[in-house]
Chain A
């Protein structure tokens, strides 16, 4: 299939986070979108509706959020890189099928442009209220990968990473934007094909005997090769616990073995999954740890505070889940205080406290009614603790 874009694109464009997600996904080889309209994520669906048929890809507006999630899983099984986009209420509806994708190990990307909840909440105001919904929104123990961009450029970059991670680990990946990042306009540089590293799912050899094919084969890397529907392997997939053949197996050993494998396939490779940026000097006594739109205020505050000789640094998470426990523990050993600004009542701060384990004081700054966190609020707290 041709991957040429309909109209020649300039490498530098002024665009919004939601559109940058579309550009990033197309750059990473996504050929399928299915979803349902919802504020503040609809520009993503609109972008794919416009772009996908131009490259021979497919756009499907489904009857509801649940169906959108189901359709992208189906498309991925048929061999296409697939993505869907929603916001908090829609994300809640997608959870069951997201758990199914985790269980049957289907690469898909789910974008959640967060708005203030609970319920219908404030549809047009930013929030980071779905951090824990992303981690624990489904039944049963399970891992999830979640990335959170803090700029339009990062929306583009992390979408490419999200698609690659999903393909590499046969694992659904959640991209957590918020309303401000989704609608913010910034200049970004679109990359050429040569500049982008693309990862495609591992497939079985085409000459492999289909009778001996094990769709959930135990391999060294714990990631089974995945066959496209229609490629002759005739295999079964089920959300029930299954053995290597894919068929239901109710034995408790199988249930344990499978859950351990699903956990370990990610946890053996955290260095490939966990991304963060930091600027901590050896004599900094406080750090502002943040992610998403809150990171913008955090970093700018630290930059101006340093001009006034405050001993502060910043730590920005790009991967939220799995949580960067080791790096945060290291940070806690380095500084006396970690400030965690979040657009919620304090969700990721629980993980920070756990990782800090009393080695540093962890203080939250929380805004959860639709306002952004202001640099002055972070500055005031920095001055108080330093």
Chain B
């Protein structure tokens, strides 16, 4: 595996804390990209603000580190302006589900051909451990010193409700599966979304006495189950568990947004010729 081709080696070591899962996500993405056959020179990776936002700095592509929450909106502009580019978004749970939640909904609704990888470590890590919309109810956060009373929610279901064609969830305890999912997401024509569970032993783990990275990964494994097995579980058994794998994959290239727009351009050209 030629990591040097896809990483900016001179920018390493990365800034992520010891035990952070984000490096595992980056590793899995690089492996998937290498296998995808996509042109590195024709691929743009766009991120927002937060720990996940720093991923683009280490990746050897055209990379854009944007403002907080807006990566998907920038990506829509890039893709629409040049549909020949592969456009990948790397965002976090705060970046992608709180401040940038609206852009996620509408990119999924438009079925624009973007691959969105959401690093979900259930906390605002960069700013020091405030609760995010993904922090479980009852957990500790620096802005929830008496326990989090917010309800966390299922992002995959949100994206499904918005019409997303490819929806998947992976986790850092299983990097092989993460790679497989990213590969399928990169190949999917249309909007694809991969929620990627990641561990944050420092900003989340310490406050919640969750132990070190290994303990957090074990817990992550306990809390997740393959999508196939999950479907066989009873309602009670499903509580507190998250299915992993490709949760939905509907090929509908006809409705892809840039293609639909291209059809209008072609139609107008014909009328002009006539």
A residues sitting closer than 8 Å to B (CB atoms) are 6, 31-32, 34, 53-54, 56, 58, 60, 62-64, 66-67, 70-80, 82, 96-97, 100, 228-240, 247-248
Contacts and interface: CB of A to CB of B under 8 A. Distances in A.
B56 A58 contact: no
A34 B60 contact: no
* Residue from A56, A66, A71, A231 having most chain B Cβ neighbours under 10 A: A71
B187 interface: no
Main secondary structure of the interface of A (DSSP, over half): mixed
Contacts of B40: 234
B102 A63 contact: yes
The SS class assigned to the B binding surface is helix
Interface of B: 8, 11, 40-42, 44, 46, 56-57, 60-67, 70, 73-82, 84-85, 102-103, 105-106, 261, 264-265, 268-269, 272
A67 to B, nearest CB: 4
A64 B56 contact: no
Contacts of B85: 78, 229-230
A60 B74 contact: no
Contact of A75 (B11, B41, B81, B264): B81
B261 A74 contact: no
Contacts of B103: 63, 67
A163 to B, nearest CB: 16
A53 B81 contact: no
Given A32-B77, A75-B81, A70 B66 contact: yes
27 contacts: A6-B268, A54-B268, A58-B261, A63-B73, A63-B106, A64-B102, A66-B70, A70-B66, A71-B74, A74-B64, A75-B80, A77-B77, A78-B81, A78-B85, A79-B81, A82-B77, A229-B85, A230-B41, A230-B42, A234-B60, A235-B62, A235-B63, A236-B65, A237-B64, A239-B65, A239-B67, A248-B65
A97 B70 contact: yes
Given A56-B265, A67-B76, A247-B57, A232 B82 contact: no
Given A34-B76, A234-B60, A235-B63, 16 more contacts: A32-B77, A54-B268, A58-B81, A66-B73, A71-B73, A75-B81, A77-B62, A77-B77, A80-B81, A80-B82, A97-B70, A229-B44, A230-B62, A231-B41, A237-B65, A239-B67
A77 B61 contact: no
A74 B57 contact: no
Please name the 9 residue pairs, one residue from A and one from B, whose CB atoms are nearest each other, closest first: A74-B77, A71-B77, A70-B73, A75-B81, A67-B73, A78-B81, A238-B65, A63-B106, A74-B78
A319 B103 CA distance: 35
A51 to B, nearest CB: 10
A236 B56 contact: yes
A229 B62 contact: yes
Contacts of A62: 73, 76, 106
Contacts of A229: 44, 62, 78, 82, 85
Contacts of B66: 70, 100, 239
Q: Which of A58, A62, A80 has the most CB of B within 10 A?
A: A58
Contacts of B62: 77, 229-230, 233-235
